[in-house]
Amino acid sequence: MKGVKTISTILYYITMVAAILYLSITVYALITMLTDWSYVVSADGKTFAVCYPFTEKRFLLGENNWGYKLFNFLLPLGFYGIFFWLLSKVFGVFKRPKLFTQDGVNQLRYFYLANIFVPPITILFASIFAGEIEEGLEWVAVIHFFLGVFAYFLAAIFKQGLNLQNEQDLYI
């Protein structure tokens, strides 16, 4: 298990950093949109650009309408921040001294529920309110669905492991 703990510790910190980055960028982008700070709209008004802080170097680009900004820009960015945060929690489960815990089962449950339900709902709202969705996005939802199913199976295994461990703990 030493190898598993080492790998899971590394991945825990990588995904936690990714989560912080995604969520920070989401908050930053929202602030720029609301305050026009480091925010540029094209001459024809069709596209916008979020610039790096205190610069005029373009960072993020998108269509200049609130349907796109919310459902094709902010929500995916924010949800990927949450995805990486939940993923870091899952890796955190594997780096603990005790593998089978109720908290571990709960973290896996949150992860599979998020992966199964959030992407299709987000794409549905995006297609309704933002019009066209970006090409290939539906396949992203399919990949997340299968990832969620895999996590669901893993949660079932962990739940069984937890039950067996609790029963074993009652053998003195």
Binding site for another protein (CB under 8 A): 167, 170-172
Compare residues 44 and 167 and give the one whose CB is closer to another protein. 167
Compare residues 54 and 171 and give the one whose CB is closer to another protein. 171
Q: Give the C-alpha separation, 10 to 13, whole Å.
A: 6
Compare residues 135 and 167 and give the one whose CB is closer to another protein. 167
Tokens matching residue 24: 């920070």
The angle that helices 75-94 and 102-129 make with each other, rounded to 10 degrees, is 170
Phi, then psi, of 39 in degrees rounded to 5: -135, 125
CA angle 9, 92, 166 (to 5 degrees): 125
CB of 155 to another protein, least distance (A): 25
CB of 1 to another protein, least distance (A): 23
CB of 164 to another protein, least distance (A): 11
